[in-house]
A and B are shown apart, each in its own frame.
Chain A
Amino acid sequence: MNNLLEAHHISKKFGNFTALNNVSIAVPKGSIFGLLGPNGAGKTTLIRVINQITMPDTGHVILDNEALQPHHVRDIGYLPEERGLYKSMKVGEQALYLAQLKGLSKSEAKTRLKYWFERLEIGDWWNKKIQELSKGMAQKIQFVVTVLHQPKLLIFDEPFSGFDPINANLIKDEILRLKEEGATVIFSTHRMESVEELCDHIALIHQSNKILDGKLIDIKRAYKTNTYEIGIRTPDDRQLQREMAEKFTVSPANFKTIGDELKLNVKLQEMHTANDLLSYLTSKGEVSHFVELVPSANDIFIQAVKNN
């Protein structure tokens, strides 16, 4: 099996409120898995189940072909959405403590911390107290603590909230590098822009139910509408538009160019291919713009929620 993590039929109720309803996900080894959904959809509950913070009412989790057990906390690095550090504790002491809780020996933790602190250029913070640092600085330390014990599975819940763009980029690069090194990442967010860049797989959770999952590319294929965005210079825009409307489904497009060409969104029928459209257009004038409209994660998200 090449899934690092499988959650099978997880359900969880809090009183009358259903947080998760029969949700299953499978996270392939070495992938970045996007766990998407609006606020309150149940993402955090699912993550807490995986972290053994919350016990599910039904269902079970398998990590690396083993049923989830207490010792697995060593194999997971978790950066929760609600995160923080002991304010009055020194950075170094605190990082050592948290690393030891994850099962590292003190000396091992120290060596690795030195490495990471140098890497992120925060070595001189060792003896500072958290309350002396800015929020972004504290977040960096939090990140280091999360990945320090080299877990097989990394779980980031809204990792970029609270970071400025520079540090967000830095963290994004580190996440990609960790993936290169063989870690599997679960990445929970409701901000879709970051999903496009990072995720290989996604699962969409909405109102406690999983409504969509799979490879991001496959999903995009499934959700594409065969629509192309075109720009064409032709002597008579109206004539062409009328003519095209008979063959295809046409609507005005709005994208920025430097010319004043005719801009259209063209939806192809089953029987046509992109080539058909292109050769048709070249016969009518000079094509300046031809792009297939691939649905963004955001579009898919909105549509999937709407369909549900």
Chain B
Amino acid sequence: MNHLPLIIKREYLTKVKNKSFLVMTILSPVIMIALIAVVAYLSQLNNNSERNISILDESGLLSAVFKDSDNIKYTVLNGLSLNDAKEIVKEQQSYGLLHIENHNKIDDVANSIKFYSEESPSIGLMSDLESVLERHLTDLKLESVGVNIEKIKAADVKVDIAQESFAGEKTSKIDSIIKLAFGGAAGYLLFMFIIIYGNMIMRSVIEEKTSRIIEVIISSVKPVQLMLGKIIGTSLAGITQFVIWIILGGLLLTVVSAIFGIDLMQSQMPQEEIMNQAMNNNEVALEMQNVMVAFYNLPITNLIFAFILFFIGGYLLYSSLYAAIGAAVDNETDTQQFLLPILMPLILAVYIGIFTVIEDPHGTVSTVFSFIPFTSPVVMLMRIPFGVPIWQQLLSLVLLIGTFMFTVWFAAKIYRVGILMYGKKPSYKEILKWIKY
């Protein structure tokens, strides 16, 4: 008798019909988009606010350097003493006063520059001012020792190393970034999925225990069937939720940016950079081309297959453990001590993915952890965009499936005994004993 489809159906429907699930599914993307919109809006608001900065340049070298921009206006004060200038700036409620003393040596001028203001000024503004001053003073200093600035600027050389693999595939830095993004997204998605839906499975097992229906059910079906049905049903519900999130999120993002006319992507970048990019139109086009090439260079088929297989394997591995924990305890508060050993390898995997794979995707650490079953799904998914030999992928997959079968067997044992145990919270020792029952 195979009741698996029936159980999967029930688990799926109860999850999907659950009110909080519906609310979460619909509200999450709305909240996310709203958050992005608010942040974007606020940062625009911030950029739009105008700041007046007064300049008292006693050296006479630098006052012409500062050019008004959209949000900063410069006022040059001439012939005032520092104290008078301060008074005026205070009265006018300007943002601040930049004071440049007069010295013979340019180094002394550089060291004497001060900024006076009511509140401590923003870091961004200070570094902007500093870079402008530095650039100009350097130019002045070079000129003073008889160097032709024009010649130096003309002699500027820009290098962009073209990369090519022995097999003749052209790659670039962008390539690595794209690979990293893909790998990182895949690994992180798996990590999130395991935590969110693993917990959901665990709660649903606990619910069956606390509502005491469990014995009724397992007098009809095998506990393993119930456990698998639960895992699969919950995963399907999870996939449904994810798909809805992606669709809804994309839709909302388009709608919101259309309505508010906020170019969400651009408002995140500093003004200066946009200008820079506009000036180097050619460069942008080149970058775009590189991005496209990087996309084509990704081992797409491999990526998709690996993603599906490692995702399923990794997810089942962990979710069976979640189910076992749910079976071992009576209520959610007791789960903490058992959850930690599960979360540790997961978090470790993500950290290895982020720190080690970026540094050296085929180094010893990355390679070893992409074989260890508890970390392999995340680490391997992050490595694959950089090109992993098929034999490594297969070996890792075989190890994963082997471990997965072991954990399911192990979890089923704990599950079988645990679901009928009520009362005290079991210790690890007791749980190990259950395996022999």
Contact = CB atoms under 8 A, between A and B. Distances in A.
The interface residues of chain B, by DSSP majority, are classed as loop
Interface residues of A, number: 30
B14 A88 contact: yes
B211 A84 contact: yes
A221 interface: no
Nearest to B437: A14
B213 A78 contact: no
A100 interface: yes
A222 interface: no
B3 to A, nearest CB: 6
A103 B422 CA distance: 29
Given A53-B420, A80-B219, A101 B212 contact: no
Interface stretch (A69-77, A234-242, A265-273): A69-77
A13 B213 CA distance: 25
Contact of B220 (A83, A86, A89, A102): A102
A97 B6 contact: yes
A50 to B, nearest CB: 10
B216 A73 contact: no
A78 B10 CA distance: 21
A52 B221 CA distance: 10
Number of chain B interface residues as a range: 20 to 34
B1 A85 contact: no
B218 interface: yes
Contacts of B207: 86-87
Contact of B213 (A70, A74, A85, A103): A85
B14 A89 contact: yes
A145 interface: yes
Contact of B216 (A52, A74, A80): A80
Contacts of A51: 219
Nearest to B222: A70
A184 interface: no
Interface in A58-108: 70-71, 73-74, 76, 78-80, 82-89, 97-98, 100-103
Contacts of B18: 88
A51 B220 CA distance: 8
A83 B437 CA distance: 23
Which 9 A/B pairs are nearest by Cβ-Cβ distance? A84-B212, A101-B220, A80-B215, A84-B211, A78-B219, A51-B219, A84-B213, A82-B212, A102-B220
A76 B216 contact: no
A142 interface: yes
Contacts of B1: 70-71, 73-74, 103
A86 B217 CA distance: 11
Interface string B204-233: 000110011101111111100000000000
B433 interface: yes
Interface of A: 14-15, 48, 51-53, 70-71, 73-74, 76, 78-80, 82-89, 97-98, 100-103, 142, 145
Given A53-B420, A97-B10, A82 B220 contact: no
Contacts, number: 68
B3 A83 contact: no
21 contacts: A51-B219, A52-B219, A53-B215, A53-B219, A70-B1, A73-B219, A78-B215, A78-B216, A84-B216, A85-B216, A86-B211, A86-B213, A87-B207, A88-B14, A88-B18, A89-B14, A97-B10, A98-B216, A98-B220, A101-B3, A101-B7
A207 to B, nearest CB: 20
A116 to B, nearest CB: 16
B217 A87 contact: no
Given A15-B433, A100-B6, A86 B14 contact: yes
Contacts of A88: 14, 18
Contacts of A97: 6, 10
Contacts of A84: 211-213, 216
Contacts of B436: 15
Contact of A142 (B216, B217, B433): B216
Interface in B1-51: 1, 3, 6-7, 10, 14, 18
B217 A101 contact: yes
A48 B422 CA distance: 16
A104 to B, nearest CB: 11
Most buried by A among B1, B18, B222, B436: B1
B387 to A, nearest CB: 48
Counting chain B CB atoms within 10 Å of each CB, the highest count among A48, A80, A103 belongs to A80
Interface string B406-437: 00000000000000101000000000010011
A208 B180 CA distance: 63
B403 to A, nearest CB: 26
Given A85-B216, A102-B220, 4 more contacts: A73-B219, A78-B219, A86-B207, A98-B220
Contacts of A70: 1, 222
Contacts of A73: 1, 219-221
A76 B219 CA distance: 9
